[in-house]
Amino acid sequence: MITDPQSTKFASAVKSHPSDSTPQGKVERGILERLSAEHPEWQLLDLSLAAAELGLSLVWQKAKPDAVWRIGPDELIVAECYARVGALKSGHRRKLAMDALKLMALRYQCPDAKRLKCLIIVPQEIQEQLKGKSWLCAAMNIAADLMPVVLSDDERELLADTTRRQADGQARSRKPEKTRHPE
């Protein structure tokens, strides 16, 4: 019987799901807060207000990019932030592709696309993996400017631990059995 709710045994029994991405979200918010502090001329905005001002349809007023900043009277930055370290696997590339697609579609739907600057913000550690001749790299370059950021040691450690936990969770997940079709 556990009598001390602060005991290690109790704490380990309440672990999050292996695929939990809360730590990545925490690092992303930290990166965006640092960028806002480093660029005081960037005024953080709610996309629904900016989208209405730009004349975007209702569907785009409900889009949820990670950040929108005003940089002067006529220009906006719309950003997606991706926090991860290590080799990018297919699911990670899919997430980046979806972010690029969202930014590309948003720019395409904007009546005055020259007012939008789109950014995909990534840790410096994965920047090199996003350069090259793949369709994903080409699409990301069309969709947005890649902005590498330096992670703190704590952020890098948190992301590395999260990546290991998520990989361990994937390894333990049951794989669907292959169905054989009768001939």
The structural domains of the chain, with segments of one domain joined by +, span 19-166
Q: List beta partners, residue 61.
A: none
Whole-structure pTM value: 0.80
Is residue 5's pLDDT more than 70?
Answer: no
- The C-alpha atoms of residue 107 and residue 158 are separated, in whole angstroms, by 33
- The C-alpha atoms of residue 17 and residue 21 are separated, in whole angstroms, by 9
The CATH number of 19-166 is: 3.40.1350
Please give the share of the chain, as a percent, with pLDDT higher than 70.
83
List of residues 6+ apart from 53 with CB closer than 8 A: none
Is residue 93's pLDDT more than 70?
Answer: yes
- The C-alpha atoms of residue 122 and residue 129 are separated, in whole angstroms, by 11
pLDDT at 39: 96
- The C-alpha atoms of residue 70 and residue 74 are separated, in whole angstroms, by 8
pLDDT at 13: 37
